[in-house]
Amino acid sequence: MYGLEAISAYNGWAMAITGPLIVMSGLIILSIIISQLHKLVAIFDKKAKQTTEPPVKSGVKSKDEISVPKILPNDILETAKIYQMLIDKLEQPFELSDLYQVAEQNNFPHPILTVSRLRDAGTLIREGEGLFIWNG
């Protein structure tokens, strides 16, 4: 017996349909697992954040900390006076990335926008390859 008769006699049609169904269902399950994997990672990430407690700050400020207003003034000259304290911590000439880091460490609001305004106003002057000097 050969051909279509043999396939029908030995349940070949059922096997021909069952095989691809098993493969497709496995691929569907795998794609669902991969698409939901970010939720599982987020759960583990939350647990890791909960176990590490942030250090408790004392009420006393060190002399290195600068009191910064929550909103910088609109006047660029007043903003420059506030940023002058940060610039004093840096060696001249300095890179903008150093200024960004110091501003973020001292919780200055919107350091990238402010530095851009300072450059436009001529307070920060380009000095060579990636270096700037303070003209305040």
Query: Where are the chain's structural domains?
Result: 4-51, 76-134
Amino acid 87: pLDDT: 78
At residue 53, the pLDDT reads 55
Positions in the chain whose pLDDT score sits under 50: 58-61, 63
Preceding peptide of 93 cis, ω within 30°: yes
pLDDT for position 76: 75
Cβ burial, residue 1 (10 Å; 0-12/13-18/19+): exposed
The reported pLDDT for the residue numbered 60 is 47
Q: Which helix (H) or strand (E) holds 132?
A: strand 131-134
Query: pLDDT at position 69, please?
Result: 55
Residues 51-73: pLDDT tens digits?
665 555 544 445 455 555 556 66
pTM above 0.85, yes or no: no
Select from 2.30.30, 3.40.50, 1.10.10, 3.90.660 the CATH code of 76-134: 1.10.10
* 26: Cα within 13 Å, side-chain hemisphere: 6
